[in-house]
Amino acid sequence: MLESLYGRGFKSLILSCVYYTAVHIPTGNPPLAAAALIVGLILGYIALEAGVVSSIAAHIVWLEMVVIYAPVDVVLSSLQLLSK
C-alpha cells in the first residue's frame, strides 16, 4: 500500500485505489477495471478502519469469489443470455 509513503487517511485511500485500478486497466477488461475501482475503495476503507491484515483477508475472499465462484466470463455470458 501507499500508506508508507503518504501515511494513513483519505489521501492514502484514494491513491491506493487509483493504483489498484490502474494495474487492472492493461488487461483490456473494462468490467474488471470497474470492479477494481469499487473493490479498491472497499479494501482501502477496510484497511483504514480495521487494519491492513483485515484488508488482506478481504482481498483473499474477493479473489476466491471472482476466480472460483463467479469468473467474469461466466457472469458476462449469463448476462448476455438474459438480455436476449
Which residue, 47, 48, 67, 49, is CA-closest to 57?
47
The pLDDT of residue 3 is above 90 = no
What lies within 8 Å, CB to CB, of 36 at 6+ separation is: 20, 21, 23, 24
pLDDT recorded at residue 5 = 46
Q: How far is the C-alpha of 57 from the C-alpha of 50, rounded, in Å?
A: 11
| Residue-wise pLDDT tens digits, 5-62 | 455 678 888 888 888 899 989 988 888 888 889 988 898 888 888 888 998 899 899 8
The pLDDT score that the predictor gives to residue 4 is 52
DSSP classification of residue 23: T
CA atoms of 36 and 30, how far apart (whole Å)? 10
**7: region left, alpha or beta (phi > 0 left; psi from -120 to 50 alpha):** left
Domain boundaries, given as residue ranges, for the chain: 3-83
